[in-house]
Structure 1
Amino acid sequence: MYEKAYELLLRWVEKSLDIYKDELGRLLWPIFVHSFLALAANYYPRQCANFFKTYREQFEKEHQDDIRALQAISLPEHVQNNHIAKLYRENHYRLTITDLAYSALLQFLEAHDTEGGSVILNLITNHIELKHVDRVASGAERSLARILAKQRGISDVPAEDEGIPGHNPGSANTDRNAPPVLAKLALAPMPMEADLMEDVKAELQEHDSLHPPPPGRNTLVEEFEQRIKQEPNDDAPSRDQIPFPPSLARDVAMEVQRIKENRDRFKIESRTDGVGPGVSVTMFTYHNTFDSINCIEFSGDEKLAAVGTAESYIRVWSLDNKPLVSPLDPSTQQPSSSRRLIGHSGPVYGLSFSPSIALPATATQANGSGNNDSQTTPSHPRYLLSCSADSTIRLWSLDTFTNLVVYRSHTSPVWDVKFSPFGHYFVSSGADRTARMWSTAQIAPLRLFVGHDSDVEAISWHPNSAYVFTAAGSPDRSIRMWDVQRGSAVRLFTGHTGNVTSIACAPNGKLVASADDRGEILLWDLATGRLVKRMKGHGRGGVWTLDWSIESTVLVSGGADCTVRVWDVQPPTVSNGSDAKALADGGLNGKDGGAGAGGATTNKNKKAKDVVVSPDQISAFPTKKSPVYKVRFTQMNLVMASGAYLP
């Protein structure tokens, strides 16, 4: 009877009006699960297996983990012992539909009561929390424009108010009127050290006296004071909780340069809605790599690039083609613009330069004389971290290009490593399902972050260094936010349907972006713990790298589909249908390379629905058969990207 009832509902949903089809179709999954479990619980093993095999395919993409867990069920004992079966039978599945769709559903079930309608109605009553809302009162989320966009594939599914709390993607903290039960976070910038502030102000005053700004432009001191006033103090972390070494002359030079760049950079401040200021991208492509490159990293001063390889070594390049010289080099050694770092015994999966910033070249250097610029500027990166399949992390000197320290604690391959924004501390993650926080001065980890159910594949720091983000692969697929002072998780974000491959926190400290191997990018609000929006455009193979503009208004991404894409990160609005349709139809597709800008991959037979581009994409830059391993916004809001040519 359950098979007949489900078939009845399925056929009716497929024939229903387009404006109701999407929301009524969301009812099929919970009805499928509970029909299947009812057959198994009532000891119909053959019918149970046939039912599961017949209808499982339509849910594979969105619920593949649950499908995998349920497929072994065929007897009542299995239903009692399977954790996913118990989860569904012990909790109500939440679903929201509009009043008109709800009325149409009830009328249909009552009209076909003896043909299976009563069975469906019984399942809804016992296992589904069906909330019906007025389309107008519910706002833009269920407007006709949003429904039409969903029909073209531009949808945020599953909905954030759908599913079993704590299990289905996006189901945490969904009640907009609920009291704030989440822990309050200190998201403001880290307060500047008092002595450092005085030294920076003195340097800025000296620079203003020597180089007064043109009329109409702020002095550097005014820019500095304005920046300090804009930083809220009520939710800022305490410097006493996270001790850092005393500031040096290098720190003063870096802060002075940040103030100069904050005044002079190309700013991206206005809301773009998918159309806005053009972003320039410089692409660095590696040739003849034979697919041996695992990771690429740029230094903060934009003078060095490093790659980690499957052959266990690291190669560092000078981007301005100047020789990289070590005081340990013999006098007979020929200077070279690249250096090879050898020490790991397994493939290198992650790299991270110590913090640095680009300083303007002196007159002497501009004329082409002087020593190696990348090693004489007061802000050049001094260290490089690397992690490997050999379970170790290594710290390298970029003055001597030698290995300084080997950090051992992970018991499996280490997938990623990141310096904190202020240096001194770093965090690593690995296949042992943990992330660890370290100090460069100690060989033992300071914090151990445990909670994920699978490999921790990506990590990132909050700009104030008070929090760390970790992202896990299948079957966990969650992002966790950790307080580094207490070592405990303060936020859990679930919503990805693919393995999370990259994560990046906005410079303003309020948003975090995460991406997966299905080509989707999700934006999360840290204060509320809510999903802001979901962006689509990359083809299959995944998004490998993310970075934010300095003003936190634009996000740039790169991945396996051989494109660099620029995104509007403002909260979604109901845009006009023509723009969305143009993007969804692949209106930005490029002609060259392995993928067009509209999201098409090298597979020309891929269906149009798999290459949908959401309207919040501002621009896309296709490469020529070069997957993009790294994208990075400079302090002047230009984008550096890098990849390997794979013909």
Structure 2
Amino acid sequence: MEEDAEEKVVLEYLRRKKYRVAEIALLQEQQKQNSDTSGAISHIINHSRADNEAGRYKESYSKLRNWVHSSLDLYKTELLRILYPVFVHCYMELVAKGFAQEAREFFQSFRDDHQPQHIRDLQKLEGVITPQHLQENETACTLQENKVHVKMCQYSFELLLQYLQSTESMLMLGIVNSHINLKVLPGQPAALLDDDESSSLPAKVQAVVEATNQKEIHWGILEGSLEDKFEKQIAAELEKADADKDAETDEAKKRAADGKVKKVKRDKAGKGLKAEPAARSVPRLKPELTMPLLTDDFERQALDDLRNRVKLGSTALPSVSCYTFVNTNNSLNCASISADGAYLAGGFSDSAIKLWDMVKMGEPSMYSDAGKGQFEGRSSSYIRLVGHAGPVYGVDFSPEGDSLLSASGDCTIRLWSTRLNANLACYKGHNYPVWDVQYSPVGHYFASASYDRTARVWSMDRLQPLRIMAGHLSDVDCVQWHVNCNYIATGSSDKTVRLWDVQTGECVRIFTGHRSMIVSIAMSPDGLFMASGDEDGAIMMWDLASSRCVTPLLGHTGCVWSLAFSGEGSILASGSADNTVRLWDVNGSSKVTADKTRRLRLLKTLPTKSTPIYTLRVSNKTLFLCSYTLIYTVIFHCSFLGGTCCSSLAPLVPAKATKLPSPGGNHLGKG
């Protein structure tokens, strides 16, 4: 009070003397002192409020989490789906309000709950620590702009609503109302579990998915394909055999009338021919692309392979033989085997491709790694193909086996001749590394998948792509042709599989349900089903016509790197990083269980000692080909040569590999 009185006396004196400048300076100093005092008081009050507000997020979420985990098991599965979106939005709201330290503590406290299913999203959000990061981070922007779809039954919804109202948890209630779209469905939770398509898709994305999946597609096989010609050939032979049988029967009746009854023998040409009942009628479709002409020798050999193909099932399972890569030193990125098993190719991190001739395996070679004479006296039957300027991530043989495609980190695709052992063409178009490349079932055309979020369709006679498929939200990791060549399927790190029309370049199906990046895709021989495997070990079987998941296949505990259907489509083989190959009964998916769900029966699990499975392939003779590696890489093929097969399965036990004394070589030995 005394200070105020003194200041008033000084101000009056300055006014009397008309010291205007000094008066203004004194007034400004007084105002500054008053503002500093009020600012300090407000800072203390605001700091106390901030501590309370930041603590409310952690306290409210912890109570919700404990309530969900203590719920009945029947409803817990549905209620657990809301925890992840609530957790993410609590974290982002803390960051948006400037509570960086509290947001970090909140994130670390509960991240382990969601790590198994959302590890990639959590890795992206972990670096968001300022409000500016929220505007720049793609994942954060997507979550802020879109509501998340969560399905649950009526009773689960009522339980959740009752909890939020009874605990007066307005903070959690506000997040649920603002960022989650609860879709309440009739029925019991057990029936809804297999119908869950979501991995918490944003509402706008879900609307796009539903609109896309309404488009019409044609899932049949190609008219004039080898399978079509083979079926027509068999039908003609059966018709001829029936005609010969009828003629012999008429002749036997005539002889019986004359008293000369003889035993009638079936003609040798028609022996063994039997019409197999078809499970479903597979339509024939005309190709939308111009189909290449196959050579007569290749077509004749392929038809013979189809004729000798063994029908697989629960009582006819394959045996196993192995080949081992030695001294790969963890540099092998990919491998591929030709359809007839004559060639094996591997793509390496040093930008080289190594091509093995399986017929010459073990024979002395006049050439070796970098030319002639490097390892004289050694058994080396591979050719080293050099041309790429980056690691080779994908290789694939043509149906005839006379050419090889390779995809590389140098953003190019190269065409190689297996007869000339030379590079024929280099295809440029991608802007970033190319992860995968695959020939069409008829050759000539091929598709590629890249880090630039596109898939592209090419032809061997053009250096530029024919079609560019753009739409994925992240890099495209794998690509697979449909059997009728009218569609390609792509798997992406955005956790979706898309089906594209090759003629128009339009996306006609979006399959959602995976919770991690898609790394492998396979098409059934009839073109109706598609299987996809992800990084978490989950496999999903899709119905292309209805765009629905027929059944999830659970069992693998590691990344499913490869999938392959048997020749007639009755068995699906899956190779995983968990050191196993699993065989699934596809025909079992047509059997509907009591709870109106479909299940695929696991026929057999083939374990290795400690080596993850890399690739699987099936030839026209139902020859299973696959590779796996740890320090060494083992190639095994399940063979049915000569129309025979084993009635039981042998475990995949890799042969003991010994390190060769020569420096730096990669060799393939039989195990």
Q: Which residue of 2 aligns with 1:243?
A: 290
Match of 2:76 among 5, 21, 24: 21
1:396: how far off? Answer: 2.4
1:622 aligns with 2:607: yes
Kept in 1: contact 2:365–2:378 (CA 8 A): no
- Cα RMSD over matched residues? 4.4
Q: Which residue of 2 aligns with 1:551?
A: 568
1:232 alignment partner AA: P
The 2-side partners of 1:555 and 1:23 are apart by 30
1:461: how far off? Answer: 0.8
Q: Which residue of 2 aligns with 1:12?
A: 67
Match of 2:346 among 277, 290, 307: 307
Q: Which residue of 1 aligns with 2:224?
A: 192
The C-alpha deviation readout for 1:513-551, integer Å capped at 9, x for no partner, is: 2222322222222223333333233333x2222111123
1:561 aligns with 2:574: no
The 2-side partners of 1:471 and 1:188 are apart by 22
The 1-side partners of 2:367 and 2:498 are apart by 43
Q: Which residue of 1 aligns with 2:324?
A: 285
Q: Which residue of 2 aligns with 1:338?
A: 381
Q: Which residue of 2 aligns with 1:643?
A: 628
Q: Which residue of 1 aligns with 2:395?
A: 351
1:173: how far off? Answer: 5.2
Matches within 5 A, 1:119-198: 119-136=171-188, 140-142=191-193, 159-161=196-198, 163-165=200-202, 182-192=214-224
Quote the sequence identity (%). Answer: 33
Match of 1:98 among 131, 153, 161: 153
Residues 282 and 22 from structure 1, CA distance in 2 versus in 1: closer, same or farther, beyond 3 angstroms? same
Residues 45 and 494 from structure 1, CA distance in 2 versus in 1: closer, same or farther, beyond 3 angstroms? same
Give unmatched runs, 5+ long, in structure 1: 143-155, 357-380, 578-613
Residues 638 and 615 from structure 1, CA distance in 2 versus in 1: closer, same or farther, beyond 3 angstroms? same
Q: Secondary structure at the match of 1:524?
A: strand
Kept in 1: contact 2:440–2:481 (CA 8 A): yes
1:617 alignment partner AA: L
Q: Secondary structure at the match of 1:27?
A: helix
The 1-side partners of 2:630 and 2:90 are apart by 50
2:622 alignment partner AA: N
1:340: how far off? Answer: 0.2
Kept in 1: contact 2:433–2:451 (CA 8 A): yes
The C-alpha deviation readout for 1:425-449, integer Å capped at 9, x for no partner, is: 1122333333332222233332233
Q: Which residue of 1 aligns with 2:497?
A: 479
1:298 aligns with 2:318: no
Q: Which residue of 1 aligns with 2:3?
A: none
1:463: how far off? Answer: 0.8
The 2-side partners of 1:413 and 1:89 are apart by 31
1:393 aligns with 2:386: no
The 2-side partners of 1:449 and 1:321 are apart by 41
Q: Which residue of 1 aligns with 2:118?
A: 63
Between 1:159-168 and 1:96-105, the stretch displaced more is 159-168
Matches within 5 A, 1:175-574: 182-192=214-224, 201=233, 212-213=268-269, 215=271, 217-218=273-274, 230-233=281-284, 236=285, 238-239=286-287, 241-250=288-297, 252-254=299-301, 256-257=303-304, 259-261=306-308, 265-268=310-313, 277-321=316-360, 338-345=381-388, 346-356=390-400, 381-473=401-493, 476-540=494-558, 542-569=559-586, 570-571=588-589
1:192 alignment partner AA: G
1:253: how far off? Answer: 1.0
The 1-side partners of 2:381 and 2:305 are apart by 28
Residues 444 and 38 from structure 1, CA distance in 2 versus in 1: closer, same or farther, beyond 3 angstroms? closer
Residues 202 and 102 from structure 1, CA distance in 2 versus in 1: closer, same or farther, beyond 3 angstroms? closer
The count of residues paired between Structure 1 and Structure 2 equals 542
Q: Secondary structure at the match of 2:223?
A: coil
Give unmatched runs, 5+ long, in structure 2: 1-55, 245-265, 633-671
Q: Secondary structure at the match of 1:192?
A: coil
Q: Which residue of 1 aligns with 2:44?
A: none
Q: Secondary structure at the match of 1:266?
A: coil
The 2-side partners of 1:91 and 1:260 are apart by 54
Kept in 2: contact 1:40–1:74 (CA 8 A): yes
Residues 635 and 39 from structure 1, CA distance in 2 versus in 1: closer, same or farther, beyond 3 angstroms? same
1:160 alignment partner AA: E
Of the two, which has the highest radius of gyration? Answer: 2
1:161: how far off? Answer: 4.7
Residues 87 and 408 from structure 1, CA distance in 2 versus in 1: closer, same or farther, beyond 3 angstroms? closer
Kept in 1: contact 2:396–2:438 (CA 8 A): yes
Kept in 2: contact 1:321–1:337 (CA 8 A): no
Kept in 2: contact 1:318–1:337 (CA 8 A): no
1:2: how far off? Answer: 3.8
Kept in 1: contact 2:583–2:603 (CA 8 A): yes
Residues 494 and 624 from structure 1, CA distance in 2 versus in 1: closer, same or farther, beyond 3 angstroms? same
1:190: how far off? Answer: 1.5
Residues 433 and 135 from structure 1, CA distance in 2 versus in 1: closer, same or farther, beyond 3 angstroms? closer
Q: Secondary structure at the match of 2:222?
A: coil
Kept in 2: contact 1:98–1:134 (CA 8 A): yes
Q: Secondary structure at the match of 2:74?
A: helix
Kept in 1: contact 2:412–2:430 (CA 8 A): yes
1:211: how far off? Answer: 8.9
The 1-side partners of 2:139 and 2:410 are apart by 36
Q: Secondary structure at the match of 2:616?
A: strand
Kept in 1: contact 2:143–2:202 (CA 8 A): no
1:355: how far off? Answer: 0.8
Kept in 2: contact 1:200–1:256 (CA 8 A): no
Kept in 2: contact 1:624–1:645 (CA 8 A): no
Higher helix share: 2
Between 1:84-93 and 1:392-401, the stretch displaced more is 84-93
1:51 aligns with 2:106: yes
- The TM-score, its normalising length taken from structure 2, stands at 0.69
1:507: how far off? Answer: 1.4
Kept in 1: contact 2:356–2:381 (CA 8 A): yes
Kept in 2: contact 1:140–1:573 (CA 8 A): no
Residues 86 and 287 from structure 1, CA distance in 2 versus in 1: closer, same or farther, beyond 3 angstroms? closer
Q: Secondary structure at the match of 1:5?
A: helix
1:348 alignment partner AA: V
1:617: how far off? Answer: 3.2
The 1-side partners of 2:567 and 2:421 are apart by 31
1:421: how far off? Answer: 0.5
1:420: how far off? Answer: 0.9
The 2-side partners of 1:546 and 1:33 are apart by 34
The C-alpha deviation readout for 1:376-405, integer Å capped at 9, x for no partner, is: xxxxx2222223334333322233333333
The 1-side partners of 2:235 and 2:155 are apart by 67
Between 1:312-321 and 1:555-564, the stretch displaced more is 312-321
2:307 alignment partner AA: K
Q: Secondary structure at the match of 1:26?
A: helix
The 1-side partners of 2:73 and 2:281 are apart by 49
The 2-side partners of 1:352 and 1:211 are apart by 44
The C-alpha deviation readout for 1:77-98, integer Å capped at 9, x for no partner, is: 7767766556545544332333
